[in-house]
């Protein structure tokens, strides 16, 4: 494992690319589109060369989207009217 | 969106004067959003409705303290979120999960374990009740600061600035909380479904 880590690290360093750890640290800003163009390009090149980080990014993106896609139960239409009556009664 | 926005200014003025049309406008704009926010925090519809009602009453009674140069939207969100969190704390003692156990580990900048292949997990898997329930429990088990940031940013889809304003934290802290929440949820899903 250590030998492989050293080889991978050496390869990315030679290519002038971020490490896997840096890919994880940049992941939030990468998905937000908040990285500067140069860093984003280097990160994309790392992703092309590293299956592990490709998989990480797929999972990370999916996790970001999980709660947004959760079903939203509709609000009972009578609820607004109930609150309106409550507010007018309580606050005046 | 700030109260310098003319429609907000009119609404704030109307609420201060306790005008019925201002109450209706407030409810029209925010009922649905706040209900879903409270529901994400409390997971119980009845409680979420109660919290929204209490939150709106606070908004109406405290509107005199609202700073006109700030965002009405985030002020209202903060009130309801805090109501929901307070209610949750009374019935839900925090389960301290050791989040460090779920964060990725590296050796010389390289991940120490292979990443599971989520491409093998079909999208429909996440629509199944059991998986949804598990994902929900992963979110529930997060420490409050991580959970709240994740729910606002990824669940409610609020912008970074809105989340920072509602939680009154820096952008760095907000990103850090959302990022760690995602990593913990991801790891727990992998342990159960992607091995």
Task: Tell whether A68 lies on the interface with B, counting CB pairs under 8 A.
Answer: yes
- Please tell me the predicted confidence (pLDDT) of residue B4: 42
- Per-residue confidence band for B188, with pLDDT thresholds at 50, 70 and 90: very high
- Please tell me the predicted confidence (pLDDT) of residue B84: 96
Q: For residues B135 and B189, is the Cβ–Cβ distance under 8 A?
A: yes
Token output for B41: 């925090």
Question: Counting every residue, how long is chain A?
Answer: 92
pLDDT digits (tens, 9 = 90+) for B152-183: 999 999 999 999 999 999 999 999 999 999 99
* Residue B55: pLDDT over 90: yes
* Mean pLDDT value of segment B60-86: 93
CA angle A14, A37, B103 (to 5 degrees): 70
| Residue A7, Cβ density class (10 Å: 0-12 exposed, 13-18 middle, ≥19 buried) | exposed
Token output for B184: 């913990």
Q: For residues B185 and B146, is the Cβ–Cβ distance under 8 A?
A: no
CB within 8 Å: A75 and B116: no
The Cα A77–Cα A89 span in angstroms is 20
pLDDT digits (tens, 9 = 90+) for B92-144: 677 778 899 999 998 888 888 889 999 888 777 887 888 888 999 999 999 99
Nearest CB partner across the interface for B108, out of A9, A72, A75: A9
Task: Tell whether A83 lies on the interface with B, counting CB pairs under 8 A.
Answer: yes
- Per-residue confidence band for A3, with pLDDT thresholds at 50, 70 and 90: low
> How many percent of chain B have pLDDT more than 70?
95
The Cα B58–Cα A91 span in angstroms is 9
Q: For residues A43 and A30, is the Cβ–Cβ distance under 8 A?
A: yes
**What SS3 state is found at B19?**
coil
- Please tell me the predicted confidence (pLDDT) of residue B3: 44
B 96-135 → A contacts, CB under 8 A: 104, 106-112, 114-119, 121, 126, 132, 135
Nearest CB partner across the interface for A83, out of B53, B160, B190: B53
pLDDT digits (tens, 9 = 90+) for A6-22: 666 677 777 889 999 99
A69 to chain B nearest CA, in Å?
Answer: 8
* Mean pLDDT value of segment A57-68: 92
- Please tell me the predicted confidence (pLDDT) of residue B8: 87
* Residue A4: pLDDT over 60: yes
How many helices, marked H, and strands, marked E, lie in chain A?
Answer: 5, 0
- Per-residue confidence band for B193, with pLDDT thresholds at 50, 70 and 90: confident
* Residue A1: pLDDT over 60: no
* Residue A31: pLDDT over 90: yes
The Cα B92–Cα A89 span in angstroms is 32
* Residue A2: pLDDT over 80: no
Nearest CA in chain B to A10: B108
The Cα A24–Cα A22 span in angstroms is 5
B185 to chain A nearest CA, in Å?
Answer: 7
Q: For residues B168 and B161, is the Cβ–Cβ distance under 8 A?
A: no
- Please tell me the predicted confidence (pLDDT) of residue B21: 93
CB within 8 Å: A70 and B150: no
Report chain A's mean pLDDT, rounded to a whole number.
88
Q: For residues B81 and B37, is the Cβ–Cβ distance under 8 A?
A: yes
Task: Tell whether B45 lies on the interface with A, counting CB pairs under 8 A.
Answer: yes
Its pTM stands at 0.90
């Amino acid at each position: 494992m250590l030998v492989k880590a050293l080889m991978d690290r050496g390869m990315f360093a030679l290519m002038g690319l971020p490490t896997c750890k840096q890919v994880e640290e940049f992941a939030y800003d990468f998905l937000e589109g908040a990285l500067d163009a140069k860093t984003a390009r280097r990160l994309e090149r790392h992703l092309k060369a590293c299956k592990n980080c490709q998989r990480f990014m797929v999972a990370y993106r999916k996790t970001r989207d999980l709660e947004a896609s959760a079903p939203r139960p509709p609000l009972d239409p009578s609820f607004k009217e109930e609150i309106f009556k409550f507010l007018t009664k309580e606050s005046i | 969106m700030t109260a310098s926005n003319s429609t907000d200014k009119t609404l704030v003025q109307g609420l201060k004067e306790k005008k019925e049309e201002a109450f209706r406008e407030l409810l029209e704009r925010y009922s649905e959003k706040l209900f879903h926010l409270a529901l994400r925090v409390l997971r119980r519809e009845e409680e979420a409705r109660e919290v929204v009602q209490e939150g709106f009453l606070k908004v109406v009674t405290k509107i005199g303290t609202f700073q006109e140069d700030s965002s009405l939207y985030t002020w209202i969100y903060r009130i309801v979120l805090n109501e929901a969190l307070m209610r949750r704390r009374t019935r839900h003692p925090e389960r301290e999960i050791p989040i460090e156990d779920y964060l990725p580990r590296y050796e010389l900048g390289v991940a120490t374990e292979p990443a599971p292949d989520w491409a093998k997990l079909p999208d429909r898997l996440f629509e199944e009740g059991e998986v949804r329930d598990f994902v929900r429990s992963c979110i529930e088990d997060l420490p409050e600061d991580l959970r709240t940031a994740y729910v606002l940013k990824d669940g409610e889809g609020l912008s970074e600035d809105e989340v920072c304003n509602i939680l009154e934290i820096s952008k760095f802290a907000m990103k850090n909380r959302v990022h760690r929440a995602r990593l913990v949820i991801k790891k727990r899903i992998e342990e159960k479904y992607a091995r």
